[in-house]
Amino acid sequence: NAGVTQTPKFQVLKTGQSMTLQCAQDMNHEYMSWYRQDPGMGLRLIHYSVGAGITDQGEVPNGYNVSRSTTEDFPLRLLSAAPSQTSVYFCASSYSVFSYNEQFFGPGTRLTVL
Amino acid sequence: KNEVEQSPQNLTAQEGEFITINCSYSVGISALHWLQQHPGGGIVSLFMLSSGKKKHGRLIATINIQEKHSSLHITASHPRDSAVYICAVRTGNQFYFGTGTSLTVIP
């Protein structure tokens, strides 16, 4: 198993540009989520999904969009990048939202918005 | 508002010392997770707790649901334990994270 994969590892955008951060898992996990990590703030939940076709907002959803058309993939879209979105982004997955399972994290994407 | 508070923020220890990291939370939870973030940035799950105590090798995690408090203990610390340790709580479908405890173990 590859686990949770994220692409790209690094990205630089200009203000106003859009892009998609990719996340995939090959463990047949139901629950997938996106977090951002900023210095001194800890990880914060952006969006999550409890299964294909089902998504919901987390703590900091503004400026981001998600969809879950398959169990494996959970892309995060930045609609119009802003410098405040400069951060490290982590995708994570766990087996089921209904049981107590550990989360598996991707390696992260470091995004800089100029 | 911080649903999850960790202490200390930074910790330096000599190799072999017993280490305790504390986590307090203010919301009702279904589970608490301890995570380790390596200097390279990768995050791995150490423990998931809903009650009591768990042990993996030199690591021990405890939780007191009534007091809304958890501790992570590292026995016989080693330089390879140097990392950021993060407490996270699950409430419903959402997770809330502490800001982490940066541990440095000196040989």
Per-residue pLDDT tens over the stretch A11-31: 999 999 999 999 999 999 999
B-chain residues near A100 (CB < 8 A): 30-31, 48, 50
* Gap between the Cα atoms of B31 and A96, Å rounded: 13
**Partner residue facing B95 (CB), from A40, A45, A107:** A45
A-chain residues near B100 (CB < 8 A): 42
Do the Cβ atoms of B96 and A45 come within 8 Å? Answer: yes
Do the Cβ atoms of A100 and B42 come within 8 Å? Answer: no
**Partner residue facing A105 (CB), from B30, B43, B96:** B43
Return the exposure string of B25-43: e unless at least 16 CB atoms fall within 10 Å of the residue's CB, then b: beeebebbbbbbbeeeeeb
Instruction: Give me the long-range contacts of B56-61 (CB less than 8 A, separation at least 24).
Output: B61/B34
Interface test with B, best of A30, A36, A102 (most B CBs within 10 A): A102
Output the CA angle B87-B21-A97, nearest 5 degrees. Answer: 20
Percent above pLDDT 90 for chain A: 87
Q: Please state, as a whole number, how many other Cβ atoms lie within 10 Å of the Cβ of residue A80.
A: 11
Bridge pairing between strands A76-78 and A19-25: antiparallel
Residue A49 has pLDDT above 90, yes or no: yes
Q: What's the mean pLDDT when you consider all of chain A? A: 93
Q: Of A62, A100, A112, which is closest to residue B90 (Cα–Cα)? A: A100
* Gap between the Cα atoms of A66 and A46, Å rounded: 9
Span of A81-85, A93-97, A99-103, B6-10 with lowest mean pLDDT = A99-103
Interface test with B, best of A105, A110, A111 (most B CBs within 10 A): A105
Do the Cβ atoms of A59 and B88 come within 8 Å? Answer: no
Q: What pairs with residue B102 in β-bridges?
A: B10, B84
Mean pLDDT, rounded, for A84-96: 94
Alpha-carbon gap: B87 to the closest alpha carbon of chain A (Å): 10
